């Protein structure tokens, strides 16, 4: 049987190499690539680094949390009276704990690389940039180039630390949250400029290693997006541990020398330290994509605008993860990639990103929250009650020596619907998920009385939910 001749009335569809090209292998790119592959799409992924995982695995989430874990265990060891007289004091350097982080990074990257192999996704190493709406140029390390074509492009290039042009980041004592992992010396005093999530986490790490820490906050309180009591608890804990917090400060210049740095603040203060970690904001990685070739434009922070399906202003180009801004969480980025893949395959995605995304902040101790804060509920004039459980009253916390912290439940004073969960203390990022599961239930399934009427393992940290629920229910007016 012969094929019919092509005529102008029956044009042949473009013959693309792939159905989709994903730029970036962080959580967002991985989520999109895996879901598209499982939908029988031909998928290619481009990664500029030599190993997959993106900033999440190599510079951000995984390294900082691995560092934090090592320091936290060291603090517990020092505080345990069983080991108080076992010899010389244990002291570790930043390089010592980096060894653990490096091992975790390698394991995570190798694991994720196997996902691409298993799902028959083609992986290209190099810098990606647009040629047109369906063509991507890959610039390899050896100088060679190749062109890849696809019907759909997904931008998942992540973000990088913001670098003010007036700060010399080539100076060996000036770091950002990426380059701090290359720290070679053992600083006795550290300046951290920026008291957001990254700044607070590294303040905990360096203080745990015995360094003096000056935490410069450009705002009037730490982590203002958190419930006020929880952020105040962190502020007090920092203050009590010796971290110096300087609120409402802006830098004017950073003066570097062979011995260290001097930070000049606009208020006239000068702060001296062995090194400075600049952790004040991030920028989307869009500057090298040649967006102009397809008529797209990033905002001042390098971020792209998308709709609820993560589609940009160009119908066949999607964007997920840090490159689109809020919530800038690895957990959310993976879901964004998955949802975008569904929209690519189906034309729309029935799934949407959940509204109440949990926040986990890996300070020492941890902070985590999901749902509304007291401030938000008060402003919305929603009648609510508060239930609290102090960790120092829990048998499990007493056993493990992690008595600092508390769990706070916010629930509707009439319907008893759980509205917010806020936790400060060791394992807070794990504990919060129990409350999240109840909050996600529909109708009468979301009720704070669940925690009273169920039976928890004993002793556990989860028991805090029963204690907090009883505490709050006892406050209700009949």
Calculate mean pLDDT across residues 459-475: 97
What are the residues whose beta carbons fall under 8 Å from the beta carbon of 215, sequence distance 6 or more?
192, 195, 199, 200, 203, 238, 243, 244, 245, 246
Binding-site positions for NAD(+) read: 194-201, 281
Place 85 in a pLDDT band, splitting at 50, 70 and 90: low
Condensed to tens digits (0 to 9), the pLDDT of residues 125-153 reads: 999 999 999 999 999 999 999 999 999 99
Binding-site positions for FAD read: 47-56, 65, 157-159, 322
Pairing mode, strands 317-319 and 145-155 = parallel
CB count within 10 Å of CB 33 equals 29
Question: Would you say 75 and 130 are in contact if contact means Cβ atoms under 8 Å apart?
Answer: no
| SS3 (DSSP) at 210 | coil
Residue 9 has pLDDT above 50, yes or no: no
Q: Which CATH class is domain 365-474?
A: alpha beta
Question: If you ran DSSP here, which 8-state letter would residue 4 be given?
Answer: P
Q: What is the pLDDT of residue 91?
A: 66
Calculate mean pLDDT across residues 386-408: 95
Calculate mean pLDDT across residues 84-94: 65
Condensed to tens digits (0 to 9), the pLDDT of residues 428-451 reads: 999 999 999 999 999 999 999 999
Binding-site positions read: 47-56, 65, 157-159, 194-201, 281, 322
Residue 10 has pLDDT above 50, yes or no: no
Q: Which residue has the higher pLDDT, 370 or 78?
A: 370
Q: Give the tokens for residue 193.
A: 């400029």
Helices (DSSP H) in 80-218: which residue ranges?
94-118, 197-208
Query: What are the residues facing 272 on neighbouring strands?
Result: 262
Place 347 in a pLDDT band, splitting at 50, 70 and 90: confident
Q: Which CATH class is domain 174-280?
A: alpha beta
Condensed to tens digits (0 to 9), the pLDDT of residues 216-266 reads: 999 999 999 999 999 999 999 999 999 999 999 999 999 999 889 999 999
One fold for both 174-280 and 365-474?
Answer: no
Residue labelled with tokens 């394991």: 107
Residue 11 has pLDDT above 60, yes or no: no
List the domain boundaries for the chain.
Answer: 18-161+283-352, 174-280, 365-474
C-alpha span between 27 and 87 (Å, rounded): 44
Calculate mean pLDDT across residues 402-420: 97
C-alpha span between 52 and 105 (Å, rounded): 10
Q: Which residue has the higher pLDDT, 247 or 87?
A: 247
| Percent of residues in the chain assigned helix, strand, coil, to nearest 5 | 35, 25, 40
- Strand ranges, E, within 307-443: 317-319, 359-361, 367-371, 384-390, 405-412, 418-425
Q: Output the average pLDDT for the chain.
A: 93
Nearest 5 degrees, angle CA 57-CA 59-CA 64?
90
Residue 24 has pLDDT above 90, yes or no: yes
Which CATH code of 1.10.3720.10, 3.20.20.70, 1.10.10.10, 3.50.50.60 fits the domain covering 18-161+283-352? 3.50.50.60
Residue 185 has pLDDT above 90, yes or no: no
Q: Among candidates 297, 250, 254, which has minimal Cα distance to 165?
A: 254
Condensed to tens digits (0 to 9), the pLDDT of residues 258-312 reads: 889 999 999 999 999 999 999 999 999 999 999 999 999 999 999 999 999 999 9
CB count within 10 Å of CB 291 equals 19
Q: What is the pLDDT of residue 84?
A: 63
What are the residues whose beta carbons fall under 8 Å from the beta carbon of 355, sequence distance 6 or more?
none
Quote the percentage of the chain above a pLDDT of 90: 86
Calculate mean pLDDT across residues 200-228: 96
Q: What is the pLDDT of residue 8?
A: 44
């Amino acid at each position: 049987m012969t094929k019919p001749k092509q005529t102008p009335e029956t044009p042949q569809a473009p013959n693309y190499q792939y159905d989709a090209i994903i730029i970036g292998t962080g959580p967002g790119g991985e989520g999109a690539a895996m879901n598209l592959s499982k939908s029988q799409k031909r998928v290619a992924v481009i990664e500029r680094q030599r190993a997959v995982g993106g900033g999440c695995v190599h510079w951000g989430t995984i390294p900082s949390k691995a560092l934090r874990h090592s320091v936290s265990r060291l603090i517990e060891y020092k505080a345990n009276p069983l080991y108080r007289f076992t010899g010389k004091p244990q002291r570790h350097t930043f390089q010592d704990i980096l060894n653990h982080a490096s091992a975790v990074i390698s394991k995570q990257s190798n694991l994720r690389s196997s996902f691409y192999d298993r799902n028959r996704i083609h992986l290209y190493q190099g810098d990606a940039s647009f040629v047109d709406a369906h063509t991507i140029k890959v610039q390899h390390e050896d100088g060679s180039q190749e062109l890849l074509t696809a019907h759909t492009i997904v931008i998942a290039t992540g973000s990088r630390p913001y670098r003010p042009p007036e700060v010399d980041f080539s100076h060996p004592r000036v770091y950002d949250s990426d380059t701090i992992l290359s720290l070679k010396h053992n600083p006795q005093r550290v300046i951290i400029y920026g008291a957001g999530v990254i700044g607070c986490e590294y303040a905990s790490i360096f203080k745990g290693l015995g360094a003096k820490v000056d935490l410069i906050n450009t705002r009037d309180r730490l982590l203002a997006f958190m419930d006020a009591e929880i952020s105040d608890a962190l502020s007090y804990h920092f203050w009590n541990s010796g971290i110096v917090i300087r609120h409402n400060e802006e830098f004017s210049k950073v003066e570097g020398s062979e011995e260290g740095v001097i930070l000049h603040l606009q208020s006239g203060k000068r702060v001296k330290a062995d090194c400075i970690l600049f952790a004040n904001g991030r920028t989307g990685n869009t500057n090298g994509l040649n967006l102009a070739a397809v008529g797209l434009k990033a905002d001042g922070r390098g971020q792209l605008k998308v709709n609820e399906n993560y589609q940009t202003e160009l119908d066949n180009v999607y964007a997920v993860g840090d490159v689109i801004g809020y919530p800038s969480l690895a957990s959310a980025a993976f879901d964004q990639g998955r949802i975008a893949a569904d929209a690519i395959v189906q034309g729309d995605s029935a799934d949407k990103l959940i509204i109440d995304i949990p926040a986990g902040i890996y300070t020492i101790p941890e902070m985590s929250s999901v749902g509304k804060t007291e401030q938000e509920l008060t402003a919305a004039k929603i009648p609510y009650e508060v239930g609290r459980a102090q960790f120092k009253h829990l048998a499990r916390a007493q056993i493990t020596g992690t008595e600092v912290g508390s769990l706070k439940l916010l629930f509707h004073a009439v319907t008893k619907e759980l509205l917010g969960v806020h936790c400060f203390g060791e394992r807070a990022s794990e504990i919060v998920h129990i409350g999240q599961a109840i909050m996600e239930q529909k109708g009468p399934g979301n009720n704070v009385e669940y925690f009273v009427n169920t039976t928890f393992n004993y002793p556990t940290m989860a028991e805090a939910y029963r204690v907090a629920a009883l505490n709050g229910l006892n406050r209700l007016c009949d």
